Structure 1
Amino acid sequence: MDLPKVVGLKDRLIEQIRLDGPLTIPDYMWACLFDPQAGYYSTRPALGEGGDFITAPMVSQMFGELIGLWVMQVWQDMGAPAKVRVVEIGPGDGTLMSDLLRSFRLMPAFQAAAEIALVEPSLPLRAVQSQKLGDILYHDHLHDLPTDAPLIVVANEVLDCLPARQFQLTDDGWFERCVGLHDGNLIIGLVPAPEDFKAPFAAEIGQVCEVSPAQNRFVESLGALLQEASGAALLIDYGRDRPEPGDTLQALHKHEKTDPLAKPGAHDLTQWADFPALAVTALNMGLTVSQITPQGVFLQRLGIIERFEALRAKNPAQTDKLARQVHRLIAADEMGDLFKVMAMSSPDLVLPGLEAIQLSE
């Protein structure tokens, strides 16, 4: 008997569920984003105003310029080592690194010391980045980074690509939300949760708890690099700053939210960064960790208002445009509160614009 030909990602996922049972949310999300033949980032990432989503560096050059100043200040606080490796993880379309490189010109000594590297597994995005940045050093994974020099790492909107398991409290206890089938269509249903599952907050019936082993593994890997090489890492993403319930799985297409199950691989999928859990992970490794800080507060501490005033003075005709950009980056009803900033470093390193978590004796 001939089996039906399975071609598209959705058909393959349906067939996989028929054979093996429901997929966890992370398994489903990994397939949608990184399947080699049809995953979103493997084949068709669409960034920018004409794509599916826009990131802070695309909003304004001011964002990248200030992050560049942050990087150079960290280098100075490290004692201005003769060699430092500046790494961006998930560089998107290359805009942030382009702005960083421009800001680095302000400090020739830093330029001479800095080796630039990108961690980017997506071949389509590498092609876009190389057009903007030229010849630049790439690594596929974090563990490929050498540790022969201190590291300064920037990761903007990386954590939201790392999926979380979802658990829901019912009258019968905790269940895990998984992707299964109903009448041949993808649906989200419930399967029994592991017996040892415990939520990090007091939950009510119906609430969803997200736990991300992938995000925690990322921080563990990054922390191990910082322990071996020394240095600091800056993480910026939308996410929570305290343990709380919420189903944050979403799909984006043309800047609009869509059904995450509708077109696997065709739309971007994201979940919130779980910053409280990540801070605990980093602290348990003995790293210095900053308080989780709203992006708007962080950028104002770095001097975005002053940078706006300087740009406006040079380009009076651009005042309204520049003001809209600043508003989008720092306003509470835009990116200012939704996006959070957390940094971690080898012990006792100062983290500019951020306050370190003080552990009680």
Structure 2
Amino acid sequence: MLRCTNHFFKRPLCRFSKLQHNNRTAPNTLSNFSIKQQIITKIKVRGPITFAEYMKDVLLNPQGGYYMHRDVFGDKGDFITSPELSQMFGELLAVWFINEWSKAGSPKPLQIVELGPGRGTLCYDMLRVMSRFNLLDKTSVHLVEVSPHLTKLQADLLCSNGAASFGVPISWHKHLKDVPDQFAFYLAHEFFDALPIHQFKKTEHGYREILIDVDPVQESKLRFVLSPTETAVGKFFLSTDESREFVEVCPEGLTLAEGLAKRIESYGGLGLIVDYGHEGQGRDTFRAFKNHKLHDPLIEPGTADLTADVDFEAMKKVMCGTNEVLVYGPVSQRTFLMNMGIECRLENLRKNAKPEQIESLDYSYGMLVDPDKMGDRFKFLAVVPSTLSVILNKYPICGFS
């Protein structure tokens, strides 16, 4: 167990819950492990595998999975995220939460729960804002993370570089179900897009699931094939009135979204989901990114990020299905950040910035809100308990109107 202590507060600030951390200093095993060969062997023994199984192997394999042993963010990684671009992003999300939390009566104790927290940058920026308003008393942070390497990066930032001075206990968990049941702010930024999907293609015989197989001519090569018959996932998740040529479903994401809504209904809380996606119109969105460029997802598995657009319409349906919650959005990232006052925050930062810092601020601002960049590509979805309906009718939820 890794602990980070702060002598001023006389208590442990960081701990790991149900998360083995013995390989914090373990060498990168990519050099002597081939995910591709493991997948090929599995297919030869069992037959073609689904997109979902392929994504799990490529992204989360303990020995050589894409997320498990490397820093995938920033200029030296394969993609960059909004929190890494600018502090303004995390600051405005913190302001959103503080405002909506006040409408619920600012209940304590409070949990801040982030799913897939990357390097921990977003969490750090939010804690920094909340500390300035003296709102961190009886607050704890819970990070849901499966990658040992990313867990180390998060601990290095949140425990070693100043966040410990906020006096907030920080815990790591492998699953959302391990987080204690109480009022919480749930945050998922670019988390659902990496969850495993199933993809289906419309044929004259109905929908057939797209699988991944070994090329019979070149056995070191992977290829896409169609299932000969309807699969169980297709029978359960595809509606009878579906008409798209390609359909993607994410059972794990839908189950998690439904569970998140249930927690908010049962124990109170606020949820904010930020990702790129669509409202039920998506088709073939499965892709890979390597060195900030599109990459063939079947070549060199384990060296590139695999992702698919989030179906926000399907997510809203499962959240509202049997749960007494209110769901707002999705709205574009540009709309949300503009409504939250990003232009005012930019101007305030520019006043005290050096010329080179101003250039960086302007660049980050453009990336975040430009419709041709992140502005329209990313969407925001909010989830709150239905018990807040009366007050939200009088004071509408921020950022979404």
Q: Provide TM-score, normalisation by structure 1.
A: 0.91
The residue type paired with residue 331 of structure 2 is T
Q: 2:40 is matched with which residue?
A: 14
**Structure 1 residue 45 displacement after superposition:** 4.1
Question: What residue in structure 1 maps to residue 369 of structure 2?
Answer: 330
Give the distance between the partners of 2:59 and 2:242, measured in 1 at CA: 32
Which shows bigger deviation, 307-316 or 19-28?
Answer: 307-316
Change (3 A) 1:222 1:293: same
State which of 148, 152, 163 in structure 2 corresponds to 1:123. Answer: 148
- Counterpart of 1:271 (choices 283, 289, 308) is 308
Matches of 2:200 and 2:95, distance apart in 1: 41
Q: Could you report, residue by residue, the CA deviation over 1:307-330 in whole angstroms, capped at 9, with x for unpaired residues? A: 011111222623332122111101
Aligned residues: 345
* 1:212 maps onto 2:253 in alignment: no
Tell me the SS of whatever aligns to 2:382: strand
TM-score w.r.t. length of structure 2:
0.82
User: Equivalents in 1 of 2:100, 2:380: separation in Å?
Assistant: 16
Aligned-pair CA distance for 1:106? 2.4
Matched, 1:301 2:334: no
Given the alignment, which residue of 55, 58, 69 partners 2:95? Answer: 69
| Cα separation, 2, equivalents of 1:169 and 1:163 | 20
The residue correspondences of 1:41-52 to structure 2 (distance < 5 A) are: 41-52=67-78
How far did residue 7 of structure 1 move?
5.0
Indicate yes or no: 2:290 matched with 1:290: no
Give, in angstroms, the shift of residue 352 of structure 1.
2.5
CA separation in 1, counterparts of 2:246 and 2:83?
A: 32
**Map of 2:63 onto structure 1:** 37
SS in 1 for 2:338: helix
Task: Classify the secondary structure of the residue corresponding to 2:132.
Answer: coil
Q: How far apart, in 2, do the equivalents of 1:236 and 1:201 lie?
A: 28
* Partner-residue secondary structure (3-state), 1:292: strand
Please state how far the C-alpha of 1:199 moved relative to its aligned partner. 4.8
CA distance in 2, matches of 1:306, 1:224: 36
Superposition deviation, residue 226 in structure 1 = 1.4
Unaligned runs of 5+ residues in structure 1 are: 1-5, 356-361
Are 2:116 and 1:80 aligned? Answer: no
> How far apart, in 1, do the equivalents of 2:125 and 2:282 lie?
36
Q: 2:335 touches 2:400 (CA, 8 Å); kept in 1?
A: no
Instruction: Return the match for 1:96 from 122, 130, 153.
Output: 122
Aligned counterparts, 1:84-163, within 5 A: 84-108=110-134, 110-134=135-159, 136-147=170-181, 149-163=182-196
Is residue 104–residue 111 contact of structure 1 (8 Å, CA) maintained in 2?
yes
Partner residue, 2:400: 354
8 Å Cα contact 2:289/2:295 also seen in 1? yes
CA distance in 2, matches of 1:116, 1:225: 16
Structure 2 residue 225 is matched with structure 1 residue 189: yes
Q: Which residue of 1 aligns with 2:28?
A: none
Letter of the structure 2 residue corresponding to residue 266 of structure 1: T
| Partner secondary structure for residue 334 of structure 1 | helix
Task: Classify 1:67/1:201 alpha carbon distance in 2 versus 1 (closer, same or farther; 3 Å).
Answer: farther
Decide whether aligned partners of structure 1 residues 266 and 201 sit closer, same or farther in structure 2, where only a CA change above 3 A counts: farther
**CA distance in structure 2 between the partners assigned to 1:164 and 1:119 by the alignment:** 20
> For residues 97 and 126 of structure 2, what CA distance do their matches in structure 1 show?
9
Query: Partner of 2:268 in structure 1?
Result: 230
Report deviation, 1:198.
3.4
Q: Which letter does structure 2 place at the counterpart of 1:27?
A: E
Percent identity, please. 34
Work out whether 1:179 is the aligned partner of 2:204.
Answer: no
Contact residue 33 and residue 41 of structure 1 kept, 8 A: yes
- How large is the RMSD of aligned CA atoms in angstroms? 1.8
User: Which letter maps to 1:260?
Assistant: P
User: Quick check: 1:203–1:245 contact (8 Å CA) kept in 2?
Assistant: no
Q: Any runs of at least 4 consecutive aligned residues in structure 1 with deviations exceeding 6 A, and if so which?
A: none
**1:36-70 deviation per Cα after TM superposition (whole angstroms, max 9, x unaligned):** 11111122342111111110001111001101111
Aligned counterpart, 1:3: none
Measured in 2, the distance between the counterparts of 1:74 and 1:59 equals: 25
Alpha-carbon distance in 1 for matches of 2:239, 2:284: 14
**Letter in structure 1 aligned against 2:131:** R
Match of 1:319 in 2: 358
Given that 1:62 and 1:307 are in contact with CA atoms closer than 8 Å, whether structure 2 keeps it comes out as yes
Aligned residues of 2:101 and 2:270 also touching (Cα < 8 A):
no
